[in-house]
Structure 1
């Protein structure tokens, strides 16, 4: 491993990344407005808790470049109307605050977040990568986590299932804006998947995309250049207009196959009745 436990405590468990104390001054009003709008949407009767994740609570957000990422836990299961309300909040925040380059809000019911099925995916995500903003912190109900192969499998072991859909989206994206958004999303996913592929061997954690690509490259030098390109595109996708197709036909299928070989497939979602 690189630093014998980067991102981990002395016992080898994940340190929770992010803190409200690290939110830079330009983003404080955005976070406050997010809380007000979410509270108005759901009220205390339905809102269980809210969280930030990503660069804003890590204190690395860049005004005008970084987006705002949040997770909302409802006491009951979200409806289509709830999701539409959250989309409206995202658009309102993006329009009102030039310091963010978009807002993304995940919406779940607490039953799912607490479930055994999500223990090593959404549960880990909330407990380790999310910063509590309001309500009771679900991390208190979840276990501590280590960078294991099980965690790698359940967080990112489904790339092979997603590839056909990503290729369809790429084929359907006709405008520059659509392809830019998709390039950013695909590049981020590939870098994070590449990192978790080697995470158990490295024995640590990082959310930094550039560092993730460098760590990956130590174990797979033949693909290091492709992963570095993906990390660059994740931060500035418009600068790499041709990269999306290259990623989906080159790096992504190789990564999906290697992930299956090393960690196995993520538990498939339940079949719809």
Structure 2
């Protein structure tokens, strides 16, 4: 069998190409996307600046009944509690109404934060490279082009050490059922695989959002941890509510990855809370 050739995801200038488009949304998910677009307008009204899709649906790789709907919303002002409550209710309603999706998650931020200097190489990069415009003015027009360098690695995922105590608290607070643990396994698996990939991203000199490819690329540089990362990539797509998996993340793979990340790229710049 021929070896898979991985795309580096870069343009001729060596900058990360924007992934995803509305044209790639699979037919089964188009009603969900249309409903999300219309309801965001209804719920947020004039406060809405722009909205974006990201994840497997705009990349065209979503699986019916297994993939979630991921949205990012930019408000004209910083979000208030009422905005967060309204968006949370919208997420829950969409998830209940459309069986082709397995969960809805909406990130909610103010326009000024997304375009701030502090977020240029984190949320700004996320909007410019990983988000597909759905509504309103595209903020990518105000953001730079990005290269897969150490600064981008540091500012995107250089905060794992700060996150691990919160992860441990979430694991301890979960009720131990499959229903409670499965979303945690999916979330932490994806986060660890992406962090492992961005650890080696500058050396590989490219970008991909495919979890399996991320794990393979990471494993080429850290073979002693390759098996763990491949397993995490599988659980990111097919999560199981196993507390032993979560313990291995917060007690072994996560701490090792955080230490190695700090050694190689340093620590993410502080952000206003």
TM-score (normalizing by structure 2): 0.96
Which whole-Å CA distance do the structure 2 matches of 1:138 and 1:239 have between them?
37
Please give the per-residue CA displacement for 1:184-241, whole angstroms capped at 9, x wherever unaligned. Answer: 1111100000000000000000000010000000000000001011111111112755
Give the aligned partner of residue 76 of structure 1.
77
Which whole-Å CA distance do the structure 1 matches of 2:121 and 2:108 have between them?
18
Alignment check: 8 A CA contact 1:4 1:204 kept: no
Please give the per-residue CA displacement for 1:29-48, whole angstroms capped at 9, x wherever unaligned. Answer: 000000111000111x2111
Q: How does 1:1-273 map to 2 (within 5 A)?
A: 6-43=8-45, 45-174=46-175, 175-238=177-240, 240=242, 242-270=244-272
Alignment check: 8 A CA contact 1:180 1:241 kept: no
Which whole-Å CA distance do the structure 1 matches of 2:270 and 2:181 have between them?
28
SS at match of 2:20: coil
1:247: how far off?
Answer: 1.6
- Structure 1 residues 4 and 246: alpha-carbon distance in aligned structure 2, compared to 1, 3 A threshold: closer
Please give the per-residue CA displacement for 1:143-167, whole angstroms capped at 9, x wherever unaligned. Answer: 0000010000000000000111101
Segments of 4+ in structure 1 off by > 6 A? 2-5
Alignment check: 8 A CA contact 2:178 2:242 kept: no
Which whole-Å CA distance do the structure 2 matches of 1:115 and 1:4 have between them?
33
1:4: how far off?
Answer: 9.1
Alignment check: 8 A CA contact 2:52 2:134 kept: yes
Which whole-Å CA distance do the structure 2 matches of 1:251 and 1:262 have between them?
16
- Structure 1 residues 149 and 3: alpha-carbon distance in aligned structure 2, compared to 1, 3 A threshold: farther
RMSD over aligned CA atoms reads: 1.4
Which whole-Å CA distance do the structure 1 matches of 2:63 and 2:28 have between them?
9
Q: Which moved more, 1:164-173 or 1:254-263?
A: 164-173
SS at match of 1:117: helix
Which whole-Å CA distance do the structure 1 matches of 2:229 and 2:240 have between them?
17
TM-score (normalizing by structure 1): 0.96
Alignment check: 8 A CA contact 1:27 1:99 kept: yes
1:171: how far off?
Answer: 1.2
